[in-house]
Amino acid sequence: MIKILISLLCCAVLFTVGILIGHYGIPKSSSPPPSWVLEVSKDVDESFIETFLSEVDNLRIQDNLKELTKVPHMATTAGDEQTVQYMLKRWQDPESGLDQAWREEYKVYLSFPDPKNPNKVTVVSSLRVKCPTLASHPELPVSVSPSGEALHTVQEKEKNYTNSDQNDPDVVQPYAAYSPAGHVKGKLVYANQGKPSDYLHLNRTVDLRGTIAITRYGGAGRGAKAINAAPYGVVGVLVYTDPLDINDGLMSDVNETYPHSWYMPPSGVERGAFATNYGDPLTPYLAAKEETYRISPEDITGIPPIPIQPIGFGDAQRLICELGGDAAPDEWQGSFHCKYNYGGPGFKNTSTFKESDVQMNISNYGEVRNSSNVMGVIRGSVEPDRYVIYGNHRDSWVHGAIDPSSGTSVMLELSRVLGTKVKQGTWRPRRSIIFGSWGAEEFGLIGSAEYTEQYLPKLSQRTVAYINVDIAVFANATLRASGMPSVQNVIFQAAKQVDAPGVDSTSVYENWLKYSNRTSPEHGTIPRMGYLTGAGSDYAAFVHYLGITALDMSYTYDRSKTNARIYPAYHTAYDTFDYCSKYIDPGFLSHQAVARTAGNILIRMADSLVLPLNCSDYAESLEDYLKTAVSLYQEKLQTWNISMEPLQSAVANFRKAATQMDQMIHSSDLANETPLKVRKINDQLMLLDRAFLDPLAFPDKYAFRHVIWASSSAGKSTFPGLADAFASAESPGQPSAWGKVHYHLSVLSQAINSAADMLVEVI
Amino acid sequence: MIKILISLLCCAVLFTVGILIGHYGIPKSSSPPPSWVLEVSKDVDESFIETFLSEVDNLRIQDNLKELTKVPHMATTAGDEQTVQYMLKRWQDPESGLDQAWREEYKVYLSFPDPKNPNKVTVVSSLRVKCPTLASHPELPVSVSPSGEALHTVQEKEKNYTNSDQNDPDVVQPYAAYSPAGHVKGKLVYANQGKPSDYLHLNRTVDLRGTIAITRYGGAGRGAKAINAAPYGVVGVLVYTDPLDINDGLMSDVNETYPHSWYMPPSGVERGAFATNYGDPLTPYLAAKEETYRISPEDITGIPPIPIQPIGFGDAQRLICELGGDAAPDEWQGSFHCKYNYGGPGFKNTSTFKESDVQMNISNYGEVRNSSNVMGVIRGSVEPDRYVIYGNHRDSWVHGAIDPSSGTSVMLELSRVLGTKVKQGTWRPRRSIIFGSWGAEEFGLIGSAEYTEQYLPKLSQRTVAYINVDIAVFANATLRASGMPSVQNVIFQAAKQVDAPGVDSTSVYENWLKYSNRTSPEHGTIPRMGYLTGAGSDYAAFVHYLGITALDMSYTYDRSKTNARIYPAYHTAYDTFDYCSKYIDPGFLSHQAVARTAGNILIRMADSLVLPLNCSDYAESLEDYLKTAVSLYQEKLQTWNISMEPLQSAVANFRKAATQMDQMIHSSDLANETPLKVRKINDQLMLLDRAFLDPLAFPDKYAFRHVIWASSSAGKSTFPGLADAFASAESPGQPSAWGKVHYHLSVLSQAINSAADMLVEVI
């Protein structure tokens, strides 16, 4: 009996062992899941984001800035090359963790003052001297009198205060890039901001032929101030920054302006590109390589037809306060303690300048120069053919501490933290990350534009998003962000995870909400994001030419404390490390907050299983634009028998498709679906903005193809092509222009319907 | 002992049973591979292709054709609607297996003759009669004399021979669509093919002002014959098909032409669209929906500025053989048994028509009409967001048995076979298949063009290939195929698996090789494929506007047996079921061979794990074009300091990238890789042609954006923009045009480099 029991026990044991061996010991003939099954379904790792946030170091950002601002680094100069070398050193360092870094060169057409023959602006006695050497130039609009007595000479360089930065021999003289050279002389007039309406108004009182117009920054693009003037016979333009617009009215460098505060000293001058279009001016739509076809410099469009020169407000005050003629309107008045008159034309009879002319001797020249982008890459593990691009320009006008080196310092820090993780083998992004340090942005976003022209097909097919952080910190009050509406959610999500600098227990998000907010029908009160409707930084080519989803961010002002149109040292020789570390962001905590927020977004874009792009938020913006368009235009359009119904129905289609897409994403267990289903959804989200491109919609706007976000001159918060066409049709004598309004309605309806088609079930 | 043995045996059995239970009975806790792992790596099933080939039925194709050709089905007529209903019935039938079928309507601008006021061409005595009713139209170039005595009247309809097809009241009168209406009269001249050189030549001998020119088909586009004439003051144009060009010289309907053979009878007239551009003429770049912005009909470009009318060669012979003036050159002579003279202008003095004019009374009118595409879809199982589109137009000029119903009959048969498999649950394609039955092709590829305009973003992002089979069978000698070079390989592969009709033990491929071949550096002697450089059928919008890889195929002529420029019944009332089944493809075996070949390609495009697109074959074509360009242009370009090196280096880059891509595909075990790696490769291949698009390269060519395959007037087998720019720069007085040659070199180099960038490792 016991034997039997033992036998049975043995059998039972053997049976059990058999089962165990069978189950664990023998591999199933249906092989186990391939190793990539888990990898392809991995989502963003929140603990990795926490680690990233904790490792972003404000002092390293400060060190980066110190290094980058040692010398002036205007595009294509020796100082620029120094920064190229620095970026390459950082990103090519095997310790950096980047997979590759390299430079890409373009041969681009830039404009410079002649150091041997600096630009001069003088007040000269109007005594006309015969000048036989110029008889051969009868086309010059005014007689030129180099021998006229100089009663006043505008300062040629900015004053040095506390350190030698302003004395660096490589500080470029203030000038207007792409202003033509020329020697012109005329009676001075004051033309406010140089808008079309300003010249129109001024010309009613003063005969502008042969005059020099002085204008203040703001209201119109730089180049526009000269372009708008030329049709009236104005022969030259001066431009300055009024203390009203930049210094909250303060003017004295004895105790008010830098080095006593962040305000611009009287000799400070904003430099800038005076070209309207972006990209290399000689190679439209083509990457500017050695043998690329170039148009003739005379055929460049959108640049000043007459000389223009920026000057400091110290000199501008001297000139404006002496002007004769009638008093200009209240809206034209600035901060100088005098009445701003139109000009007689020219100066008051009571002035020491009476009957004098202003003489401009401008010697700018154009030249094709080598400009470099520096690129760095972390290859994606699962979807290397999907790119998240993060970029900023590298070139400045002078030392460029804020513009752009604050952004570059942030980029270097976040690439350091991410690269270190790659190097350690603890992380690699799902998608590829491309860092771009663009060249020659200050001359018209040239490096980034050439990059997009060269690589258009692959960038447009593969880029998930472009993140631009140019000036990282304008001021240290609050975050500011702009972008396509679809990125709002990921910006908010990231901003909620970052502590606001200088405010206890408050997130960047909560702090932002206090400074700038709006009410969203779907989300309630939320921070107000901007749109990327212009070409203010390197996002332009990505947004407007390629239709790539993009965002731009920075820390910025407390508007209750300043009305400055931009930080006062902008594009001057005062934008230095000293200025930044004393007045903009002492301690670099705002830089750190931007690095954390932007880096957080970058990681989410690169690692999320489903792209963090929200199409319902896009729908909300379209509905908002539509509402404005209907209220502004519908009544008038009905009188021309033009229906807005197709546009309304397109926006409704988009909303419906967006809602369905959201529901589909939320109701699916995507981590357990075929990776091709996730890819399908991600492609729909990634390519959504491409549907809004129309290369023919704006024949007069260079490389503006995105029909929702293109620039507009109508000043309405609605669809740009429609707004501009409507404004132009409404102006007198344009009855046939209503066809163009109808055309833009059709373009928009088709584009929005196409975008909706991208979101609905694929077939 | 035995007990022990039995016990041991029992134990052994139990142990084994245990192992078996353990292995098979208990699921592993590490879950098995998800069910989709195998599915996503599945490749094309060769046995399925064999089944498909065996089930394609020639008699069903014949039945389809009979049904489709019951009545004339010119675009937007009742007959067209009948075919819409038939397609919908077929594809919406639950037994069809298609997942969905529907119609899409566009409102398009077509041009028709007025049935109440048919177009008339007469020879009238030149006696001028005052016509007071026309005094208010002084702009008419010639006096109009409706009361002139008619000495000869051109036949208004085609003669009926064997059945009532030609007598159907819905046979549209021969006319030139988009010819303006007008009543013009003048002396007749003979202008050969109406090319620019023909009018230039003719005008040296004859004062063309006020004349009517008779031209023959061929040499220039239909509309061009009138567009080229107008600058010389020609007031009207006739066009006919010379028996030399269509009938191998035969003319008599007593025993030579249809119904005795496939040749065109004397009263046969080729109708056609006389518009140069494709797509709806009133809505360029916009889908022609109800409320879409429309240009004014007066603003349509590329249509005849003067009346033009096609006539039969019977009438043409009567007119031409009576012409006076000098004898035209040998190359201008046709098959009529008389000398073709220039015209005095006008007829010989010995003619009964002497001193008579030709009078054209053309009453064509334009109208916006509803045109439908019929769409049918089989949804893809693994990658529904990848489309293989297969299409053909549905509309004809009259009964359209060959053009286009032969192609539609083939499409219906292959959609039947595939749909049946889906219905049976034995097959579903990996990628989605979209069938398109386009409307209004005959008026300028309108249905397919509007479709691409409406869905541009999603089609361009998702379409793997477009397969066009319009006229499936021109003649039954051999296959003919055109397409991007990347589809050569899959066409060959498919053609090798199909038996050639009427030739024992010979594949379609081997048969093709005998009729037309070339030597490839890589493949040796292979069949010669054509390129899709024009806008001859509905592939145009896919190739030239969207840059989608496409192919077009048909069975065609034995060129040793005929010189006919096209099958002789083309666009006449003789293109009927009777004609097709008697003279083009009795037994429908050539139709079957085309259905098998095209269907085979369709299945491979839809089911292959790696897309069957070969980029090395693309490289070979680029190298071929480059070689021609260098030999034709380099020497001259050097004298203008324009280097071809960037183009040479771009083509070399492309070759290198293509070789690497091929190696990568062949050396990878893609079925065991992550599906995202396969998708990456497929995206690179699918989107390759998109890199060749430039929406600004050809501002004068509507919707031509593909810089390799755009149309060209230079007649060289090389890059079209370069060839045209070079030809224009070489013409006298164009020194500045060399810049445009340089521009096109840069456009090409950038596009080819971009395409190479698509193929190299993604980052």
Spatial contact of A490 and A615, defined as CB atoms under 8 Å apart: no
Closest Cβ opposite residue B40 in set A676, A695, A755: A676
Count the neighbouring beta carbons within 10 Å of the beta carbon of residue B636.
14
Closest Cβ opposite residue A19 in set B18, B691, B762: B18
What angle is formed at CA A342 by the lines to CA A341 and CA A347, rounded to 5 degrees? 75
Pick the CATH number of A46-111+368-607 from 3.30.450.20, 3.40.630.10, 1.10.3720.10, 4.10.640.10: 3.40.630.10
The class of domain B120-128+146-362 in CATH terms is alpha beta
Residue whose C-alpha is closest to residue B304's, from B392, B379, B210, B238? B238
Say whether residue B643 is in contact with chain A using an 8 A CB cutoff.
yes
Residue whose C-alpha is closest to residue B273's, from B403, B472, B406, B112? B112
Spatial contact of A439 and A106, defined as CB atoms under 8 Å apart: yes
B285 CB neighbours in chain A (<8 A) are 694, 696
What angle is formed at CA A523 by the lines to CA A521 and CA A526, rounded to 5 degrees? 105
- For chain B, the C-alpha Rg in angstroms (whole number) is 30
pTM: 0.94
Sign of the C-alpha dihedral, residues A291, A297, A301, A303?
positive
Residue whose C-alpha is closest to residue A398's, from A269, A554, A590? A269
The string of DSSP letters for B101-167 reads: EEEEEEEEEEEE--TTS--EEEEE-------GGGTT-TTSSS---TTS-EEEE--SSPPP-SSSGGG
> How far is Cα B292 from Cα A746, in angstroms, rounded to an integer?
5
Mapped onto helix, strand or coil, the DSSP state of residue B669 is: coil
Full 3-state SS string of A598-626? HHHHHHHHHHCCCCCCCHHHHHHHHHHHH
pLDDT number for residue B146 = 47
> How far is Cα A76 from Cα A59, in angstroms, rounded to an integer?
29
pLDDT number for residue B129 = 45
> 């001021």: which residue's tokens?
A475
Residue whose C-alpha is closest to residue B70's, from B83, B60, B87, B53? B83
Say whether residue B493 is in contact with chain A using an 8 A CB cutoff.
no
> What's the rounded mean pLDDT across residues B211-235?
98
Domain ranges of chain A: 46-111+368-607, 120-128+146-362, 615-759
Spatial contact of B241 and B222, defined as CB atoms under 8 Å apart: no
Residues 6+ apart with CB under 8 A from B687: A457, A461, B758
Cβ-in-10-Å burial (0-12, 13-18, 19+) of B94 comes to exposed
Spatial contact of A401 and A575, defined as CB atoms under 8 Å apart: yes
> 């003939």: which residue's tokens?
A29
Distance of CA B616 to the CA centre of its chain: 25
What angle is formed at CA B162 by the lines to CA B157 and CA B164, rounded to 5 degrees? 60
- For chain A, the C-alpha Rg in angstroms (whole number) is 30
Q: Does the pLDDT of residue B371 top 80, yes or no?
A: yes
Mapped onto helix, strand or coil, the DSSP state of residue B707 is: coil
Of chain B, the percentage scoring pLDDT greater than 90 comes to 90
Say whether residue A457 is in contact with chain B using an 8 A CB cutoff.
yes
pLDDT tens for residues A681-696?
999 999 999 999 999 9
> What's the rounded mean pLDDT across residues A744-761?
97
Distances (CA, A) of B307 to B124, B184, B301, B317, B671: 17, 8, 15, 21, 62
For residue A530, the one-letter residue type is G
Distances (CA, A) of A492 to A407, A497, A508, A556: 20, 9, 9, 17
> Searching chain B, which residue's CA lies closest to the CA of residue A679?
B676
pLDDT number for residue B131 = 45
Say whether residue B459 is in contact with chain A using an 8 A CB cutoff.
no
A32-45: buried (b, 16+ CB within 10 Å) or exposed (e) per residue? eeeebbeebbeebe
Count the neighbouring beta carbons within 10 Å of the beta carbon of residue A368.
18
> How far is Cα B402 from Cα B580, in angstroms, rounded to an integer?
7
> How far is Cα B53 from Cα A702, in angstroms, rounded to an integer?
53
> How far is Cα B45 from Cα B43, in angstroms, rounded to an integer?
6
> How far is Cα B493 from Cα B44, in angstroms, rounded to an integer?
13
Name the packing angle between helices A406-424 and A589-607 (round to 10°).
Answer: 50
Residues 661-700, chain B: which have Cβ within 8 Å of A? 672-676, 679-680, 683-684, 687, 690-691, 693-696
How many Å lie between the alpha carbon of B663 and the closest alpha carbon of chain A?
A: 19
Q: What tokens does B707 get?
A: 């810089």
Q: Does the pLDDT of residue B309 top 80, yes or no?
A: yes
How many Å lie between the alpha carbon of B190 and the closest alpha carbon of chain A?
A: 42
The string of DSSP letters for A519-569 reads: EETTTEEEEPPB---S-SSTHHIIIIIT---EEEEEEE--TTT---SS-TT
Mapped onto helix, strand or coil, the DSSP state of residue A473 is: strand
> How far is Cα B508 from Cα A354, in angstroms, rounded to an integer?
95
Spatial contact of B452 and B546, defined as CB atoms under 8 Å apart: yes
B476-487: buried (b, 16+ CB within 10 Å) or exposed (e) per residue? bbbbbbbbbbbb
Closest Cβ opposite residue B22 in set A23, A34, A461: A23
pLDDT tens for residues A632-648?
999 999 999 999 999 99
> Searching chain B, which residue's CA lies closest to the CA of residue A688?
B457
pLDDT tens for residues A118-153?
999 999 997 554 444 444 444 444 444 445 689 999
pLDDT tens for residues B240-278?
999 999 999 999 999 999 999 999 999 999 999 999 999
B188 has which bridge partners?
B212
pLDDT number for residue A91 = 98
pLDDT tens for residues A192-230?
999 999 999 999 999 999 999 999 999 999 999 999 999
How many Å lie between the alpha carbon of B46 and the closest alpha carbon of chain A?
A: 24
| Contact check, Cβ <8 Å, B461/A687 | yes
Please tell me the total number of residues recorded for chain A in this structure: 763
| Contact check, Cβ <8 Å, B743/A40 | no
Closest Cβ opposite residue A293 in set B26, B687, B745: B745
The string of DSSP letters for A205-256 reads: HS--TT-EEEEESBSB-HHHHHHTTGGGT--EEEEE--HHHHSTT---TTTT
Say whether residue A8 is in contact with chain B using an 8 A CB cutoff.
no
A188-226: buried (b, 16+ CB within 10 Å) or exposed (e) per residue? bbbbbbbbeebbebbbeebebebbbbbbbbbbbbbbbbb
What angle is formed at CA B647 by the lines to CA B646 and CA B653, rounded to 5 degrees? 85
Residues 6+ apart with CB under 8 A from A265: A158, A159, A161, A253, A257, A258, A312, A314, A574
| Contact check, Cβ <8 Å, B695/A695 | yes
pLDDT number for residue A141 = 42
Q: Does the pLDDT of residue A31 top 90, yes or no?
A: no
Of chain A, the percentage scoring pLDDT greater than 90 comes to 90
- Top pLDDT among A6 and A146 is at A6
Question: What's the mean pLDDT when you consider all of chain B?
Answer: 94
Best of A674, A696, A722 to mutate (most B CBs within 10 Å, chain B): A674
A372 has which bridge partners?
A105
B34 CB neighbours in chain A (<8 A) are 33, 37, 672, 674
The string of DSSP letters for A361-409 reads: EE--EEEEEEEEEEEEEE--SSEEEEEEEEEEE--BSSS-IIIIIHHHH
Of chain A, the percentage scoring pLDDT greater than 70 comes to 93
Best of B6, B14, B694 to mutate (most A CBs within 10 Å, chain A): B14
- Top pLDDT among B36 and A493 is at A493
> Searching chain A, which residue's CA lies closest to the CA of residue B7?
A7
Spatial contact of B365 and B84, defined as CB atoms under 8 Å apart: no
- Cα end-to-end distance, chain B, whole Å: 74
Name the packing angle between helices B406-424 and B78-92 (round to 10°).
Answer: 20
- Output the CA torsion A131→A133→A134→A136 (10° steps): 130
| Contact check, Cβ <8 Å, B687/A739 | no
Say whether residue B6 is in contact with chain A using an 8 A CB cutoff.
no
Spatial contact of B281 and B223, defined as CB atoms under 8 Å apart: no
> How far is Cα B607 from Cα B44, in angstroms, rounded to an integer?
5
Q: Does the pLDDT of residue B762 top 90, yes or no?
A: no
Number of H helices, E strands in chain B: 21, 19
Is the bond preceding residue A115 a cis peptide, omega within 30 degrees?
no
Pairing of the two strands B188-190 and A478-483: unpaired
Question: What's the mean pLDDT when you consider all of chain A?
Answer: 94
pLDDT tens for residues B458-498?
999 999 999 999 999 999 999 999 999 999 999 999 999 99
How many Å lie between the alpha carbon of B20 and the closest alpha carbon of chain A?
A: 6
- Cα end-to-end distance, chain A, whole Å: 73
Best of A1, A38, A41, A293 to mutate (most B CBs within 10 Å, chain B): A293
The string of DSSP letters for A666-687 reads: HHS-GGGS-HHHHHHHHHHHHH
Query: Fold for domain B615-759?
Result: Transcription Elongation Factor S-II; Chain A (1.20.930)
* CB-defined contacts A:B, below 8 A: 235
> How far is Cα B653 from Cα B173, in angstroms, rounded to an integer?
55
Pairing of the two strands A176-177 and A272-273: parallel
